[in-house]
Amino acid sequence: MSSEPLVKLTDVNFTYDRRPVLQGINMEIPRGKVVAIMGLSGCGKTTTLRLIGGQLKATSGEVKVNGQVVNDLDNDGLYALRRRMGMLFQFGALFTDMSVYDNVAFQMREHTDLPNELIHDLVMMKLHAVGLRGAQKLMPSELSGGMARRVALARAIALDPLLILYDEPFAGLDPISLSVVGKLIRTLNDALGISSVVVTHDIQESLKIVDYVYFVSEGKIVAQGTADEIKDSAEPYVHQFIWGEADGPVSFHYPARSFGEQIYKEAARAR
């Protein structure tokens, strides 16, 4: 196995029009590891996933996946690279008019010439890996939130990818389903020898399964380290985020003049 990281972002900047979203991002995703990207909504986490997947191109800097510079690839090269990736979207994003079986078989039918008999066996293997072989005939509307997320995970590993990208995989799950999905992410990563990038707000569950964490704030990496290092971090932003404190660098109150001053002036105007 190559010692080079599977994913490497070097001095990456990205702007929407003139608004900076990511600034000077340097990040590595080693082969065979689970890496989390954490931070408040709007800090640039999902944008980072889109840069890795090639949906967006960096304004400057380099995004490299499996030795290829993503922002230099043409459409054919980009599609070929994406076939080596799996994606688990927030809330699963299953095809609602397809059965569980057909959702998992979809990529195999689209991107391979495998016979139906072999596709059947592979789909059963993927569903068995997530504990849902018996649900193959169900429709997405018949699934619980946790089951839908597990079917989406089976679909994400359908083509044995090198890399899986997870966008908020724990959102909306009950505690049992959340734990099951977390364990599956870790177990499948290790069993398949893949790499995983997890964008999440769920601190406690994520820190149980990840090898490394990047914290992003206002488009910049403000902290990074192992789960234990992150838990022990003295960085005020990280400490507030990890322990869910109401006040800190992220203030409870939206910026405004003092309450007393506002009341006095409003009362004066009323007179």
- Whether the CA torsion 97, 55, 203, 88 is positive or negative: it is positive
pLDDT of residue 35: 95
Name the band, by pLDDT with cuts 50, 70 and 90, for residue 203.
Answer: confident
Q: Which residue has the higher pLDDT, 45 or 241?
A: 45
Question: Is the pLDDT confidence value at 93 over 90?
Answer: no
CB 58 within 8 A of CB 51: yes
- The residues facing 14 across adjacent strands are 22
Domains (ranges, CATH) in the chain? Answer: 7-233 (3.40.50.300)
pLDDT of residue 32: 92
Alpha carbons 144 and 223: distance in angstroms, whole number: 36
pLDDT of residue 25: 92
Alpha carbons 94 and 182: distance in angstroms, whole number: 19
Question: Is the pLDDT confidence value at 39 over 90?
Answer: no
Question: Is the pLDDT confidence value at 96 over 80?
Answer: yes
Alpha carbons 247 and 249: distance in angstroms, whole number: 7
- Closest CA relative to residue 54, chosen from 163, 153, 170: 163
Residue that the structure tokens 């734990």 belong to: 179
* Mean pLDDT on 79-94: 83
Question: Is the pLDDT confidence value at 91 over 70?
Answer: no
Alpha carbons 155 and 173: distance in angstroms, whole number: 19
pLDDT of residue 51: 93
Name the band, by pLDDT with cuts 50, 70 and 90, for residue 246.
Answer: low
Task: Convert the pLDDT of each residue in 144-153 to its tens digit.
Answer: 888 888 898 8
CB 192 within 8 A of CB 165: no
Task: Please tell me the pTM assigned to this model.
Answer: 0.83
Name the maximum alpha-carbon separation found in the chain. 83
Q: What is the mean pLDDT of the chain?
A: 86
Question: Is the pLDDT confidence value at 245 over 70?
Answer: no
Question: Is the pLDDT confidence value at 239 over 80?
Answer: no
Residues 6+ apart with CB under 8 A from 146: 173, 174, 176, 177, 178, 180, 181
